[in-house]
Amino acid sequence: MTGVGEDLRAVRGRSASGCSGQQDERGSPGGTGHPKAPVIQGQGRDSATTPPASVRDYEPTPATWGRLLAVDRCDECGFVYEALATGEVPGALRAHAEGYGELILRPQPPDMVRTRPAPEVWSALEYTCHVRDVLLIQRDRVVLALVEDTPSFPPMYRDERVSLAGYQRECVAELVDELAMAANMMAKVFGGLSPRQLERRCIYNFPRATERDLAWLGRHTVHEAVHHLGDVQAVLTRVGGRAG
C-alpha cells in the first residue's frame, strides 16, 4: 500500500480539521504505541497491503462467502486462516487497524472518503465504520462463548447499521481513533485466552451456521480487517480516478 510507512500522527494532523464541523453526506447514499504484526501473506502477494485494482466491485452474497470460506481461506484476498498463529492475532488486529488511518486520513478531496464508487458498493468511510463495529461485536462474542456453551451468535445487521448507526455522519479522525480502540479491546481479550479457552465452541452464523472454535473466530476477525482494508484502498482508487 502506498504510504504505509508514513507517520500516522503527521497524517492525522493534516487531515483532522474537518471534525470541528461535521461534514455532510454528499456523494454517498444511505445504505442498505503497539509493535507491528507479521504481514499476512496470501497467494504470492501481500494481501494486506497490495490488493489488485479490481478488488471488490460488489458486495458478496452469503452464497459467495460460502464458496470463498469453504476451506478456511479467502480466494478473493488471499488470506489463509491457518497461516496465522493464534499468538499473532492481537498484533495483527492492531497493525491492520493502523492501515485504515493511513488511507482515510491521507490528504484528498474532502468528500472522497464518503463517496460510493457505485450505489451498491460502500464508501471508504462506511467500510471503516463496519470494521470498527465488527471488532467490538467479535469481542462480545468471545466473552459470550467463554460464559455459555456453544452459543449461537445473532447477526450484526451490517447493512442496516450503515444508516441506523449514521456512518456517513462520522468524523474521520474520530473514527480512526475509535477503530484503534476497538482493535486494542479485541486484541486484549483474545490475547488473554488460554489454550483451553481457544478451544471453546460457538455457532457462527455467517455465511451459514457452522460450529467453530475461538481460535477460528480470532483468525476470522483478522481476515475481516485485512479484507476490508483492501476494499478501502480499491474504493479510494476508483473514486479518485473518477474524480480525476
Q: Which tens digits make up the pLDDT trace of 40-91?
A: 433 323 333 333 333 334 355 555 544 444 448 898 899 999 999 999 999 9
Q: Is cis: bond before 90, omega within 30 of 0?
A: no
Q: Would you say residue 1 has pLDDT above 90?
A: no
Q: What is the mean pLDDT of residues 103-114?
A: 89
CA atoms within 13 A on the CB side of 103: 28
Asked whether the bond before 207 is cis by omega within 30 degrees of 0, the reply is yes
Q: How confident is the model at residue 33 (pLDDT cuts 50, 70, 90)?
A: very low
| Terminal alpha carbon distance of the chain | 20
Which is more confidently placed, 17 or 125?
A: 125
> Which domains are present in the chain?
38-243 (1.20.120.450)
pLDDT at 122 over 90: yes
Question: Which of 117, 227, 126 lies closest to 179 in space, CA to CA?
Answer: 126
* Residue of higher predicted confidence among 27 and 217: 217
Residues 209 and 161: beta-carbon distance below 8 Å: no
Q: Is 130 exposed, middle or buried (0-12, 13-18, 19+ CB in 10 A)?
A: buried
Q: Average of pLDDT values for 110-126?
A: 95
Q: State residue 30's pLDDT score.
A: 34
> What pLDDT, on the 0 to 100 scale, is given for residue 61?
55
* pLDDT confidence tier of residue 9, bands split at 50, 70 and 90: very low
Residue 139's pLDDT is: 98
Task: Report d(CA 89, CA 94) in Å as an integer.
Answer: 9
Residue type, 131: V
Provide the residue type at 179 as one letter. L
110: nearest Cα among 171, 151, 68: 171
Res. 206 pLDDT band, cuts 50 70 90: confident
Average of per-residue pLDDT across 149-178: 96
Q: Are 63 and 99 in contact (CB under 8 A)?
A: no
pLDDT of residue 227 exceeding 90, the answer is: yes
- Mean pLDDT score, 100-117: 91
What confidence category does residue 222 fall into, taking pLDDT thresholds of 50, 70 and 90?
A: very high
What is the pTM for the complete model shown?
0.75
pLDDT for 207: 77
- Percent of the chain residues past pLDDT 70, beyond the cut: 70
Adjacent-strand bridge partners of 203: 152, 211
Q: Catalogue the long-range contacts made by 189-193 (C-beta closer than 8 Å, 24 or more residues apart).
A: 189/139, 189/142, 189/143, 190/89, 190/90, 190/93, 190/139, 190/142, 190/214, 190/218, 190/221, 191/89, 191/90, 193/86, 193/142
